[in-house]
A = this chain, B = another copy of it.
Protein backbone atom coordinates (compact mmCIF):
# COMPACT_ATOMS: atom_id res chain seq x y z
CA UNK A 1 0.00 0.00 0.00
CA UNK A 2 1.31 3.43 -1.03
CA UNK A 3 -0.04 6.69 0.41
CA UNK A 4 0.33 9.92 -1.59
CA UNK A 5 1.07 12.78 0.79
CA UNK A 6 0.73 16.46 -0.12
CA UNK A 7 4.10 17.41 1.35
CA UNK A 8 3.54 21.16 0.89
CA UNK A 9 0.25 21.47 2.79
CA UNK A 10 -0.37 22.62 6.35
CA UNK A 11 0.38 25.65 8.46
CA UNK A 12 3.73 24.28 9.60
CA UNK A 13 5.13 23.57 6.16
CA UNK A 14 6.89 20.63 4.53
CA UNK A 15 9.25 19.86 7.43
CA UNK A 16 6.41 18.79 9.73
CA UNK A 17 4.47 16.96 7.03
CA UNK A 18 7.50 14.99 5.80
CA UNK A 19 8.57 14.06 9.33
CA UNK A 20 5.05 12.97 10.28
CA UNK A 21 4.51 11.05 7.06
CA UNK A 22 7.75 9.09 7.49
CA UNK A 23 6.78 8.32 11.09
CA UNK A 24 3.36 7.17 9.90
CA UNK A 25 4.80 5.06 7.10
CA UNK A 26 6.91 3.20 9.63
CA UNK A 27 4.10 2.83 12.16
CA UNK A 28 1.53 1.55 9.67
CA UNK A 29 3.88 -0.28 7.31
CA UNK A 30 3.08 1.66 4.15
CA UNK A 31 5.09 3.19 1.31
CA UNK A 32 5.03 6.92 0.59
CA UNK A 33 4.65 9.11 -2.46
CA UNK A 34 5.74 12.49 -1.17
CA UNK A 35 4.31 15.12 -3.51
CA UNK A 36 5.66 18.66 -3.75
CA UNK A 37 8.43 20.85 -5.04
CA UNK A 38 11.10 18.23 -5.47
CA UNK A 39 14.07 20.15 -4.05
CA UNK A 40 12.13 21.21 -0.98
CA UNK A 41 10.78 17.74 -0.31
CA UNK A 42 14.19 16.08 -0.79
CA UNK A 43 15.77 18.60 1.56
CA UNK A 44 13.25 17.84 4.31
CA UNK A 45 13.48 14.12 3.64
CA UNK A 46 17.24 14.27 4.14
CA UNK A 47 16.66 15.59 7.67
CA UNK A 48 14.69 12.58 8.88
CA UNK A 49 15.50 8.90 9.25
CA UNK A 50 13.63 7.21 6.42
CA UNK A 51 15.77 4.08 6.42
CA UNK A 52 13.87 1.02 5.28
CA UNK A 53 10.87 2.99 4.08
CA UNK A 54 9.86 2.97 0.44
CA UNK A 55 9.66 6.68 -0.40
CA UNK A 56 9.23 8.20 -3.84
CA UNK A 57 9.20 11.96 -4.40
CA UNK A 58 6.69 13.10 -7.02
CA UNK A 59 7.47 16.56 -8.30
CA UNK A 60 4.67 19.14 -8.25
CA UNK A 61 5.89 22.62 -9.15
CA UNK A 62 2.70 24.49 -8.14
CA UNK A 63 1.71 25.23 -4.58
CA UNK A 64 -1.76 26.23 -3.37
CA UNK A 65 -1.74 28.56 -0.37
CA UNK A 66 -4.00 28.12 2.64
CA UNK A 67 -5.88 31.34 1.86
CA UNK A 68 -6.32 30.94 -1.88
CA UNK A 69 -9.79 30.66 -3.35
CA UNK A 70 -10.21 26.87 -3.70
CA UNK A 71 -11.86 26.55 -7.12
CA UNK A 72 -9.75 29.29 -8.72
CA UNK A 73 -6.50 27.92 -7.31
CA UNK A 74 -7.30 24.41 -8.54
CA UNK A 75 -8.05 25.74 -12.03
CA UNK A 76 -4.97 27.94 -12.21
CA UNK A 77 -2.50 25.45 -10.76
CA UNK A 78 -2.98 22.10 -12.47
CA UNK A 79 0.44 20.90 -11.23
CA UNK A 80 -0.17 21.65 -7.54
CA UNK A 81 0.92 19.12 -4.93
CA UNK A 82 -2.78 18.53 -4.18
CA UNK A 83 -3.64 17.73 -7.80
CA UNK A 84 -0.59 15.55 -8.43
CA UNK A 85 -1.22 13.56 -5.25
CA UNK A 86 -4.84 13.00 -6.29
CA UNK A 87 -3.71 11.90 -9.75
CA UNK A 88 -1.51 9.28 -8.10
CA UNK A 89 -4.70 7.86 -6.54
CA UNK A 90 -6.69 8.14 -9.76
CA UNK A 91 -3.98 6.33 -11.71
CA UNK A 92 -3.90 3.50 -9.16
CA UNK A 93 -0.35 4.29 -8.10
CA UNK A 94 -1.33 5.30 -4.55
CA UNK A 95 -4.10 3.76 -2.45
CA UNK A 96 -4.98 6.99 -0.69
CA UNK A 97 -4.16 10.69 -0.62
CA UNK A 98 -3.51 12.83 2.43
CA UNK A 99 -3.34 16.62 2.67
CA UNK A 100 -3.18 19.16 5.51
CA UNK A 101 -3.41 21.95 2.94
CA UNK A 102 -6.27 24.19 1.79
CA UNK A 103 -9.20 21.85 2.48
CA UNK A 104 -11.49 23.65 0.04
CA UNK A 105 -8.90 23.12 -2.67
CA UNK A 106 -8.55 19.45 -1.75
CA UNK A 107 -12.32 19.02 -2.11
CA UNK A 108 -12.48 20.92 -5.39
CA UNK A 109 -9.50 19.06 -6.84
CA UNK A 110 -10.83 15.69 -5.63
CA UNK A 111 -14.10 16.31 -7.47
CA UNK A 112 -12.17 17.30 -10.58
CA UNK A 113 -9.52 14.58 -10.55
CA UNK A 114 -11.35 11.64 -8.94
CA UNK A 115 -14.98 12.60 -9.43
CA UNK A 116 -17.98 11.70 -7.32
CA UNK A 117 -19.07 8.16 -6.66
CA UNK A 118 -22.13 7.60 -8.90
CA UNK A 119 -25.23 8.09 -6.77
CA UNK A 120 -23.54 10.44 -4.31
CA UNK A 121 -24.73 14.02 -4.78
CA UNK A 122 -22.38 15.64 -2.28
CA UNK A 123 -19.16 14.22 -0.83
CA UNK A 124 -18.84 14.85 2.91
CA UNK A 125 -16.02 15.29 5.40
CA UNK A 126 -16.25 12.86 8.31
CA UNK A 127 -14.35 12.75 11.55
CA UNK A 128 -14.50 12.13 15.26
CA UNK A 129 -15.04 14.60 18.06
CA UNK A 130 -13.66 13.84 21.52
CA UNK A 131 -15.91 11.50 23.47
CA UNK A 132 -16.32 9.89 26.87
CA UNK A 133 -17.40 6.56 25.42
CA UNK A 134 -17.17 5.19 21.95
CA UNK A 135 -16.53 7.91 19.44
CA UNK A 136 -19.14 9.00 16.95
CA UNK A 137 -18.20 9.65 13.34
CA UNK A 138 -19.70 13.07 12.60
CA UNK A 139 -20.42 14.19 9.05
CA UNK A 140 -20.52 16.56 7.31
CA UNK A 141 -17.93 18.84 8.85
CA UNK A 142 -17.85 21.57 6.25
CA UNK A 143 -18.07 20.29 2.69
CA UNK A 144 -21.80 20.95 2.21
CA UNK A 145 -23.14 24.02 4.02
CA UNK A 146 -26.68 23.88 2.62
CA UNK A 147 -27.57 20.25 2.03
CA UNK A 148 -31.04 18.98 1.26
CA UNK A 149 -32.62 16.11 3.23
CA UNK A 150 -31.58 13.37 0.73
CA UNK A 151 -27.96 14.50 1.12
CA UNK A 152 -28.16 13.81 4.86
CA UNK A 153 -29.46 10.33 4.06
CA UNK A 154 -26.43 9.78 1.82
CA UNK A 155 -24.18 11.00 4.64
CA UNK A 156 -25.80 8.41 6.91
CA UNK A 157 -25.23 5.67 4.33
CA UNK A 158 -21.63 6.61 3.63
CA UNK A 159 -20.81 7.10 7.31
CA UNK A 160 -22.32 3.73 8.23
CA UNK A 161 -20.33 1.95 5.55
CA UNK A 162 -17.13 3.72 6.50
CA UNK A 163 -17.26 2.83 10.19
CA UNK A 164 -18.27 -0.71 9.26
CA UNK A 165 -15.50 -1.26 6.74
CA UNK A 166 -12.65 0.85 8.04
CA UNK A 167 -13.30 0.57 11.78
CA UNK A 168 -14.99 -2.81 12.04
CA UNK A 169 -18.22 -1.58 13.65
CA UNK A 170 -20.62 -4.47 13.05
CA UNK A 171 -24.04 -2.79 13.06
CA UNK A 172 -23.51 0.96 12.95
CA UNK A 173 -26.21 3.12 14.52
CA UNK A 174 -27.04 6.55 13.13
CA UNK A 175 -28.36 9.69 14.82
CA UNK A 176 -29.27 13.13 13.51
CA UNK A 177 -27.91 16.24 15.23
CA UNK A 178 -30.69 18.56 16.39
CA UNK A 179 -31.54 21.11 19.05
CA UNK A 180 -33.54 18.57 21.04
CA UNK A 181 -34.33 14.87 20.97
CA UNK A 182 -38.04 15.23 20.20
CA UNK A 183 -38.93 14.77 16.51
CA UNK A 184 -40.84 18.08 16.73
CA UNK A 185 -37.55 19.91 17.38
CA UNK A 186 -35.01 20.80 14.73
CA UNK A 187 -34.89 23.26 11.89
CA UNK A 188 -36.75 22.57 8.67
CA UNK A 189 -33.88 20.53 7.23
CA UNK A 190 -33.66 18.33 10.32
CA UNK A 191 -37.41 17.74 10.54
CA UNK A 192 -37.51 16.70 6.89
CA UNK A 193 -34.33 14.63 7.07
CA UNK A 194 -35.41 12.88 10.27
CA UNK A 195 -38.49 11.32 8.71
CA UNK A 196 -36.55 10.51 5.55
CA UNK A 197 -33.82 8.77 7.56
CA UNK A 198 -36.43 6.80 9.50
CA UNK A 199 -38.02 5.69 6.23
CA UNK A 200 -34.79 4.66 4.49
CA UNK A 201 -34.08 0.92 4.68
CA UNK A 202 -30.60 -0.24 5.59
CA UNK A 203 -29.87 2.60 8.00
CA UNK A 204 -30.14 1.87 11.72
CA UNK A 205 -31.52 5.31 12.55
CA UNK A 206 -31.97 5.98 16.26
CA UNK A 207 -33.48 9.45 16.08
CA UNK A 208 -32.34 12.95 16.91
CA UNK A 209 -29.63 13.84 19.43
CA UNK A 210 -28.45 17.10 20.98
CA UNK A 211 -25.09 18.82 20.91
CA UNK A 212 -24.18 17.45 24.31
CA UNK A 213 -24.64 13.89 22.98
CA UNK A 214 -21.92 14.28 20.36
CA UNK A 215 -19.28 13.70 23.05
CA UNK A 216 -21.20 10.86 24.71
CA UNK A 217 -20.92 8.14 22.10
CA UNK A 218 -24.69 7.81 21.61
CA UNK A 219 -24.38 6.53 18.03
CA UNK A 220 -21.67 5.30 15.68
CA UNK A 221 -22.54 7.92 13.09
CA UNK A 222 -24.02 11.39 13.67
CA UNK A 223 -25.17 13.26 10.58
CA UNK A 224 -25.57 17.01 10.23
CA UNK A 225 -25.20 19.75 7.63
CA UNK A 226 -21.64 20.91 7.01
CA UNK A 227 -22.25 24.34 8.52
CA UNK A 228 -23.49 23.04 11.88
CA UNK A 229 -20.95 20.21 11.87
CA UNK A 230 -18.10 22.63 11.30
CA UNK A 231 -19.31 24.93 14.09
CA UNK A 232 -19.73 21.96 16.45
CA UNK A 233 -16.24 20.63 15.67
CA UNK A 234 -14.63 24.02 16.23
CA UNK A 235 -16.61 24.83 19.37
CA UNK A 236 -15.44 21.49 20.79
CA UNK A 237 -11.88 22.41 19.80
CA UNK A 238 -12.28 25.85 21.38
CA UNK A 239 -13.60 24.53 24.68
CA UNK A 240 -10.88 21.87 24.83
CA UNK A 241 -8.22 24.55 24.26
CA UNK A 242 -9.86 26.80 26.84
CA UNK A 243 -9.83 24.07 29.48
CA UNK A 244 -6.29 22.88 28.87
CA UNK A 245 -4.96 26.45 28.80
CA UNK A 246 -6.84 27.38 31.98
CA UNK A 247 -5.69 24.24 33.73
CA UNK A 248 -2.08 24.82 32.72
CA UNK A 249 -2.20 28.39 34.02
CA UNK A 250 -3.82 27.34 37.31
CA UNK A 251 -1.60 24.37 38.14
CA UNK A 252 1.58 26.34 37.46
CA UNK A 253 0.46 29.43 39.36
CA UNK A 254 2.43 28.62 42.54
CA UNK A 255 5.39 26.38 43.41
CA UNK A 256 3.39 23.95 45.60
CA UNK A 257 0.86 23.60 42.80
CA UNK A 258 3.65 22.96 40.31
CA UNK A 259 5.00 20.15 42.48
CA UNK A 260 1.59 18.58 42.91
CA UNK A 261 0.97 18.91 39.18
CA UNK A 262 4.18 17.00 38.51
CA UNK A 263 2.71 13.99 40.30
CA UNK A 264 -0.43 14.29 38.20
CA UNK A 265 1.34 14.52 34.89
CA UNK A 266 0.23 11.10 33.65
CA UNK A 267 -3.36 11.98 34.57
CA UNK A 268 -3.18 15.27 32.67
CA UNK A 269 -1.60 13.52 29.69
CA UNK A 270 -4.38 10.94 29.58
CA UNK A 271 -7.05 13.64 29.58
CA UNK A 272 -5.11 15.73 27.08
CA UNK A 273 -4.81 12.80 24.69
CA UNK A 274 -8.58 12.47 24.65
CA UNK A 275 -8.98 16.07 23.58
CA UNK A 276 -6.08 16.16 21.14
CA UNK A 277 -7.21 16.39 17.53
CA UNK A 278 -3.80 15.00 16.59
CA UNK A 279 -4.86 11.62 17.98
CA UNK A 280 -7.52 11.42 15.28
CA UNK A 281 -5.21 12.77 12.63
CA UNK A 282 -7.41 13.16 9.63
CA UNK A 283 -10.92 13.23 8.26
CA UNK A 284 -11.86 11.12 5.24
CA UNK A 285 -13.67 12.84 2.39
CA UNK A 286 -16.40 10.29 1.69
CA UNK A 287 -18.15 10.08 -1.66
CA UNK A 288 -15.30 10.70 -4.08
CA UNK A 289 -13.77 7.99 -6.24
CA UNK A 290 -10.74 7.30 -4.09
CA UNK A 291 -9.59 7.50 -0.50
CA UNK A 292 -8.86 11.13 0.40
CA UNK A 293 -7.94 12.19 3.94
CA UNK A 294 -8.04 15.83 5.03
CA UNK A 295 -5.81 16.69 7.97
CA UNK A 296 -6.12 19.80 10.13
CA UNK A 297 -4.16 22.79 8.80
CA UNK A 298 -2.53 23.05 12.21
CA UNK A 299 -1.38 19.42 12.04
CA UNK A 300 1.81 18.60 13.89
CA UNK A 301 3.93 15.56 13.03
CA UNK A 302 1.85 13.32 15.30
CA UNK A 303 -1.36 14.36 13.56
CA UNK A 304 0.16 13.60 10.14
CA UNK A 305 1.42 10.25 11.44
CA UNK A 306 -2.08 9.34 12.63
CA UNK A 307 -3.66 10.65 9.44
CA UNK A 308 -1.49 8.16 7.57
CA UNK A 309 -3.18 5.54 9.72
CA UNK A 310 -6.62 6.84 8.72
CA UNK A 311 -5.62 6.81 5.04
CA UNK A 312 -4.17 3.33 5.34
CA UNK A 313 -7.25 1.86 7.09
CA UNK A 314 -9.56 3.49 4.59
CA UNK A 315 -7.61 2.22 1.60
CA UNK A 316 -7.05 -1.31 2.91
CA UNK A 317 -10.68 -1.79 3.85
CA UNK A 318 -11.70 -0.46 0.45
CA UNK A 319 -14.19 1.94 2.04
CA UNK A 320 -14.54 3.78 -1.27
CA UNK A 321 -15.28 0.61 -3.21
CA UNK A 322 -17.92 -0.40 -0.69
CA UNK A 323 -19.57 3.00 -0.92
CA UNK A 324 -19.50 2.73 -4.69
CA UNK A 325 -21.24 -0.67 -4.57
CA UNK A 326 -23.87 0.56 -2.14
CA UNK A 327 -24.72 3.79 -3.88
CA UNK A 328 -25.12 1.95 -7.16
CA UNK A 329 -27.74 -0.26 -5.45
CA UNK A 330 -29.25 2.58 -3.44
CA UNK A 331 -29.39 0.81 -0.09
CA UNK A 332 -27.17 0.70 2.96
CA UNK A 333 -26.71 -3.08 2.90
CA UNK A 334 -23.45 -3.95 1.18
CA UNK A 335 -23.81 -6.84 -1.27
CA UNK A 336 -22.73 -10.30 -0.11
CA UNK A 337 -18.97 -10.71 -0.34
CA UNK A 338 -17.70 -13.07 -2.99
CA UNK A 339 -14.49 -15.03 -2.67
CA UNK A 340 -12.71 -12.38 -4.70
CA UNK A 341 -14.24 -9.51 -2.73
CA UNK A 342 -12.82 -7.65 0.24
CA UNK A 343 -12.46 -9.67 3.46
CA UNK A 344 -15.43 -9.58 5.84
CA UNK A 345 -13.27 -9.68 8.98
CA UNK A 346 -13.52 -6.53 11.04
CA UNK A 347 -10.47 -4.38 10.70
CA UNK A 348 -9.75 -2.89 14.07
CA UNK A 349 -7.99 0.21 15.41
CA UNK A 350 -4.44 -0.33 14.20
CA UNK A 351 -4.47 -1.26 10.57
CA UNK A 352 -1.09 -2.97 10.79
CA UNK A 353 -2.70 -5.84 12.71
CA UNK A 354 -4.85 -6.58 9.69
CA UNK A 355 -1.93 -7.36 7.46
A residues at B contact (CB < 8 Å): 67, 69, 129-132, 142, 145-146, 177-180, 182, 184-188, 190, 210-216, 224-228, 230-243, 245-247, 250-251, 253, 256-257, 259-261, 263-264, 266-268, 270-271, 274-275
Contact = CB atoms under 8 A, between A and B. Distances in A.
Given A245-B132, A267-B251, A271-B243, A211 B235 contact: yes
Given A132-B245, A227-B187, A238 B267 contact: no
A210 to B, nearest CB: 5
A234 B256 contact: no
A231 to B, nearest CB: 4
A182 to B, nearest CB: 8
A253 B267 contact: yes
Top 6 closest A-B pairs, CB basis? A211-B234, A250-B267, A179-B230, A212-B238, A260-B263, A215-B238
Given A211-B230, A211-B231, A230-B211, A146 B237 contact: no
Contacts of A231: 177-179, 210-211, 224, 228, 231-232
Q: How many copies does the complex hold?
A: 2
A253 B240 CA distance: 22
A325 B210 CA distance: 36
Nearest to A274: B246
A215 B246 CA distance: 12
A256 B263 CA distance: 8
A251 B264 contact: yes
A211 B214 CA distance: 15
A339 to B, nearest CB: 44
A178 B234 CA distance: 10
A243 B275 contact: yes
Q: Which label, helix, strand, loop or mixed, suits the secondary structure of the A interface? A: helix
Contact of A260 (B224, B260, B275): B260
B187 A212 contact: no
B238 A190 contact: no
A260 B264 contact: yes
B131 A242 contact: yes
A211 B238 contact: yes
Given A187-B227, A231-B177, A130 B256 contact: no
Nearest to A239: B239
A257 B260 CA distance: 9
A15 to B, nearest CB: 25
A241 B145 CA distance: 28
A250 B265 CA distance: 10
A186 B243 contact: no
Contacts of A210: 230-231, 234
23 contacts: A130-B239, A145-B186, A145-B187, A177-B231, A178-B227, A179-B226, A179-B227, A179-B231, A210-B231, A211-B230, A211-B231, A215-B241, A215-B242, A216-B242, A231-B231, A242-B274, A247-B247, A251-B267, A253-B267, A260-B260, A260-B261, A260-B263, A260-B264
A212 B241 contact: yes
